[in-house]
Chain A
Amino acid sequence: MTLTPEDSTAIWLSLKVALTATLLALPFGFALAWLIVFKKFRGKVMLEVLVNLPLTLPPVVIGFFLLLLLGKNGWIGKLLDASAIPIIFTWKAAVIASATVGFPLLVRSIRLGMESIDEQLIEASRSLGAAWYDTLVTIILPLSLRGIMAGSLLMFARSLGEFGATIIIAGNIPGVTQTIPLAIYDYASSPSSVTMALSLCLVSILISVVVLTIHELLGKKLDRRGAL
């Protein structure tokens, strides 16, 4: 197995992008899951459809819409341009692509975790003098920890594999925006680089195995602690 310096950069970039995307999405995912599970409001079904949309849309479509939004003439793009913050074709664009595509997985897992909390536990907390935000932090957050963790790891893993949306808004620039899947794509298009592609595939599998193992081990540990 041989890895070129570009490959190593791609691996580090992949990990950096996936981690940043997950951390960035986490508070929003938690808040949205909380809204969907515990609050009654109009347009809830629409919100759910919207949240889940990236799950069913081709990532290329998402990438295209993000490009329209973040590009020079897009709503957000104009603002970013005015404040001189470059996004498109930088690693930050890869983060946004990953965060958008992986977001439904995160919300879904946290939601499942929250839905398993007995409503009377929340009622007990409120009647014992906790305001809603206090209950959110001291009861809902710890009891949905397993869902949060499962969702984060799933999203992290999904981000590592993100290709379609990333290539559109971040491009495939070696050393700048080239993540593992993009590098494999490059190698795969030239017949002489099969070994190089295989090496990166192996790294990909290795990272996935590590992530899934952590998921299982942490899940067991939380089970032992008696948390939900």
Chain B
Amino acid sequence: MKLRINTEKKQGNFLLQVHTEVSGERIGIFGQSGSGKSTLVHLISGLLQPDRGEIYLNDECLFSTSKRVNLSPERRRIAIVFQQAMLFPHLSVKANLLYGYRRCRTENRQIKPETLIAILKLQPLLQRGVANLSGGEKQRVALGRAILANPRLLLMDEPLSALDDTLRFQIIPYLKSVSEEFGIPYLFISHSILEMQLMADRILVIKNGQIAETTTPDQLARKSMAQSPKGYLNLIHLADPFQKNGLYAYQWGDNTLFVSDGEPTGQSLFELSSREIILFKKHPEAISARNLLKCTVAEMFDSEGRVGIVLAMKSEKLVAEIVRSAAEELKITVGSTLFAAIKASSFRKLG
């Protein structure tokens, strides 16, 4: 998917000026509230008309003042998943799901309802009224409804913001799997760095109505390390642990990680804050932390007075964070060998 946007839109005192070209299948749009993310979604989908400029999707002109083109929203084939599910309250779950499908031209109907219902596990919900669904179920139906419209592009406008943490991480695998399974590129809009790390490959950072930079989730997380309350979040996928002394022991490369809050079976995703990792120059004789990893410094980066240390094990990497004076005192340089101590309770299970 290639998206080229050169547009301006004034709304009261707010001016959105976007000049960018981005390609990829999983694009993130990151910005604080009021930065213009939602306006951009409206401009791309055709729900709002730019004052001037042009918007191209895969070389097809969606809007252009010079060519006098303004494709109506229904002809753009760009579906939106909103923050609230926005299911039609007078229709059943099934009728909601099929709303876009029925309006999609036969030759474009590549995704069949049965396949999607199976992937999103919607079968048990079909006969229910939309008022009887939980928040997570509603968002799953909304996602299904958008996908079944067989769009060329899916806009996800903070689809997880209205959900609590548990539900959020239950929905993320669905969001990822449908777009991978059906090959629908998406723009994922959010103000959460964690969601960007999980959902996007490339990120447009939007600030005060303008694209401030184009970056990667990792670069974004590194840059915001010092300001973010949890520092840099290391995301670690672990699976099938064995239990030992009341802890879950997961194999992670050549190391074994001991985690307090694990899951007896299956795959789990954990976050580990860069601030929860304590670094030692030499092997500490005895410590209370259950994990001690021997690693090499692969890279060091600056984030507003703090130093991020990229620790490399055989194939795994972790980012730890220390203050500059500590880095100088320990004489840490790229290539140094360090020991990283992590408490078993520092791993927070996400889903």
B47–A123 contact, CB under 8 A? yes
B90–A126 contact, CB under 8 A? no
B90–A225 contact, CB under 8 A? yes
CA distance A112 to B177 in the complex (A): 41
A127–B86 contact, CB under 8 A? no
Q: How many residues of A contact B (CB 8 A)?
A: 22
The SS class assigned to the A binding surface is helix
| CB < 8 Å neighbour of B103 from A129, A143, A228 | A129
B86–A129 contact, CB under 8 A? no
A130–B103 contact, CB under 8 A? yes
Contacts of A225 in B (CB 8 A): 90
Check: B88 CB closer than 8 A to any chain A CB: yes
Interface residue ranges of B38-87 to A (CB < 8 Å): 42, 45-47, 72-74, 76-80, 82, 84, 86
Known: A134-B103, A227-B90, A228-B89. A128 touches B79 (CB 8 A): yes
Residue of A nearest to B85 (CB): A124
The SS class assigned to the B binding surface is mixed
A127–B80 contact, CB under 8 A? yes
CA distance A120 to B45 in the complex (A): 13
Known: A134-B103, A226-B129. A126 touches B74 (CB 8 A): yes
Max chain B Cβ within 10 angstroms of own Cβ: one of A129, A132, A228: A129
B73–A126 contact, CB under 8 A? yes
A125–B90 contact, CB under 8 A? no
| CB < 8 Å neighbour of B72 from A121, A128, A131, A138 | A131
Check: B104 CB closer than 8 A to any chain A CB: yes
Check: A142 CB closer than 8 A to any chain B CB: yes
Contacts of A131 in B (CB 8 A): 72, 74
Q: Total contacts A to B, CB within 8 angstroms? A: 73
CA distance A143 to B89 in the complex (A): 8
CA distance A8 to B125 in the complex (A): 55
B82–A120 contact, CB under 8 A? yes
Check: A216 CB closer than 8 A to any chain B CB: no
Known: A120-B84, A121-B86. A128 touches B129 (CB 8 A): no
CA distance A126 to B80 in the complex (A): 10
| CB < 8 Å neighbour of A143 from B73, B90, B129, B130 | B90
Interface residue ranges of B264-285 to A (CB < 8 Å): none
Check: B146 CB closer than 8 A to any chain A CB: yes
Known: A123-B47, A143-B89. A130 touches B84 (CB 8 A): no
Residue of B nearest to A118 (CB): B86
Check: A139 CB closer than 8 A to any chain B CB: yes
Check: B131 CB closer than 8 A to any chain A CB: yes
A-B residue pairs in contact (CB < 8 Å), sample of 20: A120-B82, A121-B89, A124-B80, A125-B99, A127-B74, A127-B79, A127-B80, A128-B100, A128-B146, A128-B149, A129-B77, A129-B103, A129-B149, A130-B99, A134-B74, A143-B89, A225-B90, A226-B90, A226-B130, A228-B89
* B interface residues with partner A (beta carbon < 8 Å): 42, 45-47, 72-74, 76-80, 82, 84, 86, 88-90, 99-100, 103-104, 129-131, 145-146, 149, 155
User: In the complex, given contacts A128-B149, A134-B103, A143-B89, what are 5 additional A-B residue pairs having Cβ atoms less than 8 angstroms apart?
Assistant: A123-B86, A127-B45, A128-B74, A128-B146, A139-B88
Q: Which 6 A-B pairs have the closest CB atoms?
A: A128-B100, A129-B103, A126-B73, A226-B131, A127-B80, A142-B90
